[in-house]
Amino acid sequence: MSLIITDECINCDVCEPECPNDAISQGDSIYVIDPNKCTQCVGHYDTPQCVEVCPVDCIPLDVNNPETEAQLQAKYEKLMAAKR
C-alpha cells in the first residue's frame, strides 16, 4: 500500500525532503502523497522515511491503495527506470 497523510498534518515540512521518490508535495492545506510514486521506500530503505521523521504520526497506510511488497518493488523499479 502507498501511504497517506491525514489531516493531523501540521505542515512542518520534514517529510517532503525525506521521500526518495518525490511522492510528497504541498497540497491545498496539508502535505499529500502521490500513490503512483509512493513505494513505502521499498527499494530505498527498510522503513518509510516520512513516517520515521513525522513528529505527529499522521502518515498511515492508505487502505484505498492496497499493494503487495512485489507490487511496491515493481513500482520502485519503474520509477528508477524513468529517471535514467
**What gap in Å lies between CA 9 and CA 20, rounded to an integer?**
20
CATH number of the domain enclosing 43: 3.30.70.20
* Domain contains 8: no
Residue in 31, 30, 42 with CA at minimum distance from that of residue 2: 42
* Domain contains 9: no
Q: State residue 84's pLDDT score.
A: 81
For residue 65 the three cell numbers come to 491503495
Q: State residue 11's pLDDT score.
A: 95
Dump pLDDT digits (tens) for 44-83: 999 999 999 999 999 999 999 999 999 999 999 999 999 8
* Domain contains 50: yes
* Residue that the C-alpha cell 530503505 belongs to: 45
Q: Which domain holds residue 63?
A: 16-83
CB atoms inside a 10 Å sphere around CB 38: 26
